[in-house]
Amino acid sequence: MDILTLTLLFAVGSYLLKTSEQRQRIALLASHLGRFQIEKLMERLNEGYLRALGEQDPERQRQIWALHEPVERDLNEQFQRFAESFGKAAPADTRINRNPLPYAHRWLPGWLAPGMDARALMRLHAKSIDQIVTQTAGLSSRDRARTLLAELYLMQHSCHWFCRSRSLASARLVARHHTTHEQVIEAVSPTTRQAYLALIDAGPQP
């Protein structure tokens, strides 16, 4: 068997395994998210905040902020429950590999398959979202909304990264919200930024 055929077989096999791994991750995340309305609530906040940020009348803007406070609390409560539920998943199933080979963390030693635990990412997002929703002192409504949106965008990026890859998650962020991963990181709270970068900053990215 020549080298070209072997290369082709390896490429096809890797693709099939990678696809299988991604499907398992999507199914796992969906099994936990499916019990909540986090994405729907996030869409309501995103639309409402953007409308408020573009509103010129201060009184009308204040009314829009107040209208979405119950949505914020509901989303926060649901995401706390999701993070708790997802935190009970098996560590081997929630590993985000930095080695691009499929299932690398299952058959390679740790130093060849570095990565991070998606459960830790979700706990970080849960803590960050809760702090913005429940601790409003020192932030104007406008700054608070922008920060919370950034926290939610970053959480969404982490979900897509877990299911697919970092590059695809970043591309979806640009396509859906017209902002880059780097811009979102700059827009979250300093506490989130420091903890997030410490968690993901290790070795080559998939």
Q: Which residues of the chain have pLDDT under 70?
A: 1-2, 4-20, 98-114, 136-137, 202-206
Asked if residues 162 and 29 have their Cβ atoms less than 8 Å apart, the reply is yes
**What is the model's pLDDT at position 100?**
64
State the Rg of the chain over Cα: 19
Q: Mean pLDDT of all residues in the chain?
A: 84
Q: Which of 158, 75, 71, 98 is nearest to 123 (CA)?
A: 158
**What is the model's pLDDT at position 179?**
94
Q: Is residue 206 part of a domain?
A: no
Q: Is residue 38 part of a domain?
A: yes
Q: Is residue 205 part of a domain?
A: no
Task: Give the dihedral of Cα atoms 138, 142, 146, 151; nearest 10 deg.
Answer: 40
Q: Is residue 169 part of a domain?
A: yes
Handedness of CA 70, 126, 30, 146 (dihedral sign): positive
What is the amino acid identity at position 46? N
**What is the model's pLDDT at position 131?**
94
Q: Is residue 32 part of a domain?
A: yes
User: Under DSSP, is residue 117 helix (H, G, I), strand (E, B) or coil?
Assistant: strand
Domain of 60, in residue numbers: 3-200
pLDDT digits (tens, 9 = 90+) for 12-52: 555 455 666 778 889 999 999 999 999 999 999 999 988 88
- Count the domains in the chain: 1
pLDDT digits (tens, 9 = 90+) for 77-90: 999 999 999 999 99
Q: Is residue 93 part of a domain?
A: yes
Q: Is residue 28 part of a domain?
A: yes
**What is the model's pLDDT at position 204?**
41
